[in-house]
């Protein structure tokens, strides 16, 4: 399973469990340790790779501990400080990281609450941790363009020099994207003045003109994002009835005056919806889980999703004769539909998408069965 599938798996878990996590220790167990082990590939139970409660006395500060130190080639390379998932990250949370950064060999410091992962290095001054991260990964809304950089920090392909060389560009690109996101959500006075100056025929951009243009800029921003989402989804789904369905969904999701909330698609997802079908986030989360499981047998792009009014189907090679699973989520009781070698379906009650992992072997066996039959015909 590649890093994209591993991150998607943890993202789905976070969405399901976040509401029940109330402490820092629970956050570590539920999200931080799985990220270290599953995503970054370090053995959390091997002290030669992961040192919990890492201590390196700093000046008059004695006995302070960093939550985790990650070791590669016998050297501490990354430091991790964790906070509880319900607490937004603030720079003051990183005080121990700042101190430890200068007295260890680590060039990467990570501040996280399990959902948001902020990666720091020493771009501004050598051996002094920067005040701004060069990479921010939000597991609740994964930016897939960051995953190749994250892959460079995994144990199997640790490439510190490559990460550091790209960190400067990543730092400013990330900051610009966050600034643009903030402007699209709630345009600042400077942004309104700038855009009004581009389109307004009058000579002076007065306070009255700015007040007039503020809602217009906000509305135009939402419409622009909606159009971009539409174009992307239409390309993925093809033309015809699906396009009309996508238009309605995207417009409803990003109505003026509301936060942008485009319909999320898993990376590489191949989805087809019939008319009047609304695909829910829970269905997409479950689809991601099935797809992640099946990726142990086939490439991800061979797993397709097809939503209908009664169930969400997961197919191999977009072939109705090769059902991998059915997600019966359009009812009060949820079921996972699995298939035997004769394609007889059995429905298994589940509560959450992550419950599907308990049936991973059965799903893999179904996919492997289709592959073996294909080999027999060759």
pLDDT (tens digit per residue) in 74-125: 999 999 999 999 988 888 778 878 888 877 888 999 999 999 999 999 888 8
**Residue 183, pLDDT above cutoff 50:** yes
Question: Which residue do the tokens 């680590």 mark?
Answer: 106
Which range in 31-35, 200-204, 291-295 is most confidently predicted, on average pLDDT?
A: 31-35
**Taking CA 112 as the corner, what is the angle to CA 77 and CA 284, rounded to the nearest 5 degrees?**
115
Helices (H), 125-255: 147-151, 160-185, 189-199, 207-237, 241-253
Return d(Cα 35, Cα 138) in angstroms, integer: 12
Say how many C-beta atoms besides its own lie within 10 A of residue 64's C-beta: 14
Q: Please report the pLDDT score of residue 251 as a whole number.
A: 43
Rounded mean pLDDT of the chain? Answer: 82
Which range in 90-94, 223-227, 262-266, 304-308 is most confidently predicted, on average pLDDT?
A: 304-308
Structure confidence by residue, pLDDT tens digits, 36-78? 999 999 999 999 999 999 886 555 455 678 899 999 989 999 9
pLDDT confidence tier of residue 273, bands split at 50, 70 and 90: low
For the record, the structure tokens of 222 come out as 């939402």
CB 245 within 8 A of CB 275: yes
Q: Please report the pLDDT score of residue 269 as a whole number.
A: 46
Task: Kindly provide the b/e burial profile for residues 29-48, where b requires at least 16 CB atoms within 10 angstroms of the residue's own CB.
Answer: ebbbbbbbbbbbbbebeeee
């Amino acid at each position: 399973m590649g890093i994209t599938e591993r991150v998607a798996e943890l993202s789905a878990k976070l969405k399901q469990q976040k509401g029940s996590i109330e402490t820092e220790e629970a956050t570590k167990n539920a999200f931080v340790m799985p990220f270290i082990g599953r995503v970054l590939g370090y053995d959390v139970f091997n002290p030669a790779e992961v040192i919990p409660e890492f201590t390196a006395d700093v000046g008059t500060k004695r006995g302070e501990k960093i939550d985790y130190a990650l070791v590669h080639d016998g050297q501490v390379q990354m430091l991790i400080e964790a906070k509880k998932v319900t607490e937004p990250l603030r720079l003051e949370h990183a005080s121990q990281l700042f101190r430890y950064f200068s007295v260890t060999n680590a060039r990467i410091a990570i501040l996280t609450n399990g959902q948001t992962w902020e990666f720091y290095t020493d771009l501004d001054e050598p051996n002094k941790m920067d005040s701004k991260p060069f990479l921010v990964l939000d597991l609740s809304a994964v930016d897939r363009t960051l995953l190749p950089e994250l892959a460079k920090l995994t144990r199997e392909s640790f490439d510190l020099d490559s990460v550091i060389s790209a960190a400067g560009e990543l730092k400013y690109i990330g900051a610009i994207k966050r600034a643009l996101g903030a402007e699209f959500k709630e345009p600042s006075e400077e942004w309104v003045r700038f855009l009004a100056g581009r389109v307004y025929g009058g000579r002076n951009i007065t306070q009255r003109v700015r007040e007039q243009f503020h809602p217009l800029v906000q509305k135009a921003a939402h419409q622009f994002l909606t159009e971009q989402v539409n174009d992307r989804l239409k390309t993925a789904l093809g033309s015809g009835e699906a396009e009309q369905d996508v238009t309605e969904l995207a417009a409803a999701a990003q109505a003026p005056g509301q936060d942008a909330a485009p319909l999320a698609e898993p990376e590489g997802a191949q989805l087809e919806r019939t008319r009047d079908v609304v695909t829910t986030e829970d269905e997409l989360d479950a689809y991601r889980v099935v797809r992640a499981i099946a990726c142990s047998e086939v490439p991800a792009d061979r797993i397709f999703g097809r939503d209908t009014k009664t169930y969400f189907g997961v197919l191999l090679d977009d072939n109705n004769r090769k059902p991998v699973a059915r997600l019966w989520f359009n009812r009060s009781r949820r079921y996972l539909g699995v298939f035997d070698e004769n394609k007889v379906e059995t429905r298994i009650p589940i509560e959450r998408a992550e419950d599907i992992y308990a049936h991973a072997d059965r799903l893999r066996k179904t996919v492997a069965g289709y592959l073996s039959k294909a080999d027999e015909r060759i």
